[in-house]
Amino acid sequence: MLKVEHVSKKFNTFPALQDVNFTIQPGEIMGLIGQNGAGKTTTFHSILNFLHYDGKITWEDQPITEKTFDTVGYLPEERSLLPKMTIEQQIVYLARLKSRPAKEIKPQIDDWLKRFDVQGKKSDKIKTLSKGNQQKVQLICTLIHQPQLIILDEPFSGLDPVNADLLKNAVLDAKKNNAVIIFSSHDMSNVEEICDSLIMLKKGQVILSGTIDAVRDSFGKTEIYCKTTKSLAELKQLPHVKKVEKKAHGQYLLHIDDENSGPEVFDALTNGEYVAEFRQQPPTLDEIFRMEAGEQHE
């Protein structure tokens, strides 16, 4: 279990983190979201003891020390591979820093390269690889020693949807092995798809936290997606409808003033007739992110 309690950090007088609290259980994935400069990387660096902070951070009820690092897999946002090394040399070198002997790691490398569909041989030098393949090699370095605490800073950056799915599957496999996983992402669909919970930071403060469903439901089921033959003007006249957005493929998004008015909106929209779609739901994480990160929430 990873526990972060009342963690604050200042750089000179700038408050990078302000009383941040969260707990992640084994087998749980937590998404850390927020705009650039919100404090995500500072949170990771605090967990890893890369900097001094106020508060308390524990792993399995013990302070995090150098001895803990053998059980940690950390993927920084910036690439940190050594370009003149071969793929095999790089993976073995970093694994040995985690106290894994070369004879244990070398037999696994081919399977990991195949698993992540790395376009290159293990004898190829890092500098000959594309940015996407370098990212995948760095992910292998992060995961091959089977860490129990996994910290991923923007892991999907530079990956196309197919390769992003390979990473998601690897993260979900680590979850099955009871790893504690925390990652940051600007793509809310990734967070919504694989995370159990989330923390949203704004100017170093936690402004949202909880399970994905609880966070979304806290905003109310005030959005209705529908397909109808009614015109945009007619939809705007429906009871409780505050705003109407025309989406692609004949779909409309109705913003209503009260989630309990859904049945009334449904009756007014259908008038006893068939509609191809009527779906009431809370805002998506992407919409919530835009709402909460905006200046109107200062």
pLDDT at 241 over 80: yes
Can you name the residues that pair with 58 across neighbouring β-strands?
A: 3, 63
Render pLDDT for 28-48 as a digit per residue (tens, 0 to 9).
Answer: 999 999 999 999 999 999 999
pLDDT at 296 over 50: no
Q: Give the integer Cα–Cα distance in Å for 30 and 142.
A: 17
**Residues 128 and 120 sit within 8 Å (Cβ to Cβ):** yes
Render pLDDT for 162-206 as a digit per residue (tens, 0 to 9).
Answer: 989 999 999 999 999 999 999 999 989 999 999 999 999 999 999
User: What is the pLDDT at residue 298?
Assistant: 43
Please give the average per-residue pLDDT across 99-113, as a whole number: 96
Render pLDDT for 270-285 as a digit per residue (tens, 0 to 9).
Answer: 988 888 899 999 999 9
E strand or H helix that includes residue 91: helix 87-97
pLDDT tier at 295, thresholds 50, 70, 90: low
Residues of the chain with CATH 3.30.70: 223-281
Helix (H, G, I), strand (E, B) or coil at 259: helix
Q: Identify the CATH class of 2-217.
A: alpha beta
Residues of the chain with CATH 3.40.50.300: 2-217
Q: Say whether domain 223-281 belongs to CATH 3.30.40.
A: no
Encoded tokens for 264: 């009334």
Model confidence, pTM: 0.89
**Residues 17 and 52 sit within 8 Å (Cβ to Cβ):** no
